[in-house]
Structure 1
Amino acid sequence: MAHVGKRLKKVYEGLDTEKAYTIEEAVKLIKSHATAKFDETIEIAVNLNIDPRKADQNLRGVVQLPHGTGKTYRVAVFAKGPKAQEALEAGADIVGAEDLAEKIQAGDIQFDRCIATPDMMGVVGRVGRILGPRGLMPNPKLNTVTMDIANVVKAVKGGQVEYRAEKAGIVHSGVGKASFSEQALVENIAAYMDAIQKAKPTGVKGTYVKSLSLGSTMGPSVKFNIESK
């Protein structure tokens, strides 16, 4: 039998890994076990009955969490003229056009999300091979190709979360920090799950959400009850 270290034993102390807790119980347990020296991210994993290989089941979207994520996002915007000014006034960290594309081509990618006005997609396309693999390519489905620059920048800065199904049909995202109150985390999780439910592909038959789990960066994870969301 493999040796179980003291830290691992302590991490799972008081947890039943087979039990499906309520959201409130899960949040309380995960918060109490997030004992790292930094503010751990609370993460949700949703196992869905989907096949992401099918175009209509390749689940991807964004959701606005009512209490934000606790993370500061650096936002880059491809825009010119009044829209560039609008982006700056809304709080964008980097704004540009051809000059921004040149920075990206040179490996200067100091941002977490990228937004573009539709007229700039020709320029963005030049660096698509760089942005795409990093998950940074502006996409109409994520509302990151838009003329509503100010509101989208504010939404991203205010705690908008992107979700995307992996090959096995699992979607996972950060839904807050261990320092958040239990109520704030519960409300963030409820908003996240509401978005996932609304995004259910029409071709899915039977149970859509197979299982849910909640964990933290350095801590354990526990299952929680689907009906309790």
Structure 2
Amino acid sequence: MARGKQYQTASGKIDAEKSYDLGEAIALAKEAAFAKFDESIDIAIKLGVNPKHADQMVRGSVSLPNGTGKDVKVLVFCKGEKQKEALDAGADFAGDDELIAKVQGGWTAFDKVVATPDMMVQVGKLGRVLGPRGLMPNPKVGTVTPDVAKVVKELKAGMIEFRVDKVGIIHTTVGKKSFENDKLDQNIRALLDTLIKMKPSSAKGQYVRGIALSATMGPGVKVDHHKLVNEL
């Protein structure tokens, strides 16, 4: 795959064969970011699981201590008093039948979706719209709940969802290039700590098998995952 001059220049700052301490990796990922906008800092974590087995599907959520740096628009499907609770907690949109019809029509001007349990039969009809975008509410990640206010606040503060892909890798965002290094460090450790606690009992051998950081447009930086896991 052909890469532009800026990417090649950025790659020259990184030893592709070396695994760096987390602090060094964060600094390098930021240094190698060349876009004019405030790029996200993304992480890829290779896990020793086989997602084809249901009991090894690693999926959940974690509240990053320093947030993601993104303005997250939250939609809540709920009825009655729950709508006021959701809006008071910071939800951008809250409603039931009318909102469902709007989404069925193709409207997707939101980043996260929460639903109360009693709304899930109706929300299930939105699978074709929400499913491909990864927005379908799910009790496993806490987005199907009667306590909508709590979840809305967590999402606004930086709660992220994660799900292992078909080859056993977790991909997610842990902050912005403009974040101080120690804040990115704290976010990464919080995510990794959560993943380790979720290790499936049926997963055999080494669990965390690789970690890489990168800015949105930048090259990847390998992290010394053995050292990092031992520090947690």
- 2:96 paired with 1:97: yes
CA contact under 8 A between 2:66 and 2:158: conserved in structure 1? yes
In structure 1, the residue matched to 2:140 is 141
**Does the residue aligned with 1:173 lie in a helix, a strand or coil?**
strand
Moved more, 118-127 or 185-194: 118-127
Looking at structure 1, the residues matched to 223 and 108 of structure 2 have their Cα atoms a distance apart, in angstroms, of: 38
Shift of 1:130: 2.2
In structure 2, the residue matched to 1:114 is 113
Moved more, 118-127 or 208-217: 118-127
Looking at structure 2, the residues matched to 32 and 111 of structure 1 have their Cα atoms a distance apart, in angstroms, of: 31
The residue correspondences of 1:1-229 to structure 2 (distance < 5 A) are: 6-226=5-225, 227-229=227-229
For the aligned residue pairs, the C-alpha RMSD in angstroms reads 1.4
Shift of 1:182: 0.5
CA contact under 8 A between 2:43 and 2:172: conserved in structure 1? yes
Post-superposition Cα deviations, 1:67-104, rounded to whole Å, max 9, x if no partner, equal 00011111110111111100010011111101111001
Looking at structure 2, the residues matched to 228 and 69 of structure 1 have their Cα atoms a distance apart, in angstroms, of: 21
Looking at structure 2, the residues matched to 158 and 198 of structure 1 have their Cα atoms a distance apart, in angstroms, of: 22
Post-superposition Cα deviations, 1:15-38, rounded to whole Å, max 9, x if no partner, equal 111101000010011111112100
**Does the residue aligned with 1:20 lie in a helix, a strand or coil?**
coil
Looking at structure 2, the residues matched to 137 and 45 of structure 1 have their Cα atoms a distance apart, in angstroms, of: 22
**Does the residue aligned with 2:212 lie in a helix, a strand or coil?**
strand
Looking at structure 2, the residues matched to 145 and 3 of structure 1 have their Cα atoms a distance apart, in angstroms, of: 43
**Does the residue aligned with 2:108 lie in a helix, a strand or coil?**
coil
Moved more, 128-137 or 95-104: 128-137
Looking at structure 2, the residues matched to 195 and 112 of structure 1 have their Cα atoms a distance apart, in angstroms, of: 22
TM-score normalised per structure 1: 0.96
**Does the residue aligned with 1:63 lie in a helix, a strand or coil?**
strand
Q: What amino acid does structure 1 have at the position aligned with 2:95?
A: G
Shift of 1:122: 1.7
Q: What amino acid does structure 2 have at the position aligned with 1:156?
A: L
Gaps of 5+ in 1: none
Shift of 1:3: 7.8
Post-superposition Cα deviations, 1:169-223, rounded to whole Å, max 9, x if no partner, equal 0111000000000100001100010111111111001100111101111111111
Looking at structure 1, the residues matched to 147 and 3 of structure 2 have their Cα atoms a distance apart, in angstroms, of: 53
**Does the residue aligned with 2:210 lie in a helix, a strand or coil?**
strand
Task: Tell me the percent identity.
Answer: 50
> What is the number of equivalent residue pairs in this alignment?
228
Runs of 4 or more above 6 Å deviation: none
**Does the residue aligned with 1:127 lie in a helix, a strand or coil?**
helix
Q: 1:225 to 1:94 in 2, by over 3 A?
A: same
Q: What amino acid does structure 2 have at the position aligned with 1:160?
A: M
Gaps of 5+ in 2: none
